[in-house]
Amino acid sequence: MRPDPHDEGRRWLDQASLDLDDARFARGGKRFSLACFLCQQAAEKAVKGFLVLKGEEVVWGHSVADLCERASAYAERFAERRDDGASLDLLYIPTRYPNGLPGGLPSDAFHDDDADRAIVRAERIIGSVLEAFEGD
């Protein structure tokens, strides 16, 4: 039996919200690269939750910008979030892997302002998803 799209989409959104809380916690602990990655993950999961809400059964991919583009077919507000998604996409690999950077470690390459910007971007995307859920 196929899960209810609203319930399943909400599970994705709930996890996205928890990931954003974890990003804030990591930022407070000066784990800036981790905070940045968690923001990318939060935004990705939130938009995937919206796509599930809209009835998509298979939601592949890690690009938040691409997911926002897909979501904009259902709600124009996601076209406005594509740039936020693109900025978060830049954090997917280099925040975790040393070979994603020209040298050094991710833990040394990211700073408080990077985490702060990522949190704001993830908040905007999750906010758009929350608005969409409230409208459905």
**What was the pLDDT predicted at 135?**
78
**What was the pLDDT predicted at 71?**
98
Burial of residue 69 (CB within 10 Å: 0-12, 13-18, 19+) is middle
Closest CA to 48 of 56, 40, 38: 56
Sequence spans of domains, the chain: 5-133
Q: What is the mean pLDDT of the chain?
A: 96
pLDDT in tens, 46-91: 999 999 999 998 899 999 999 999 999 999 999 999 999 999 999 9
Is 5-133 assigned to CATH 3.40.640.10?
A: no
Mean pLDDT, rounded, for 110-115: 98
pLDDT bucket at 134, cuts 50 / 70 / 90: confident
**What was the pLDDT predicted at 133?**
87
Closest CA to 63 of 81, 90, 97, 33: 90
Q: What are the angstrom distances between the C-alpha of 111 and each of 80, 116, 117?
A: 26, 9, 10
Tell me the whole-structure pTM to 2 decimals. 0.96
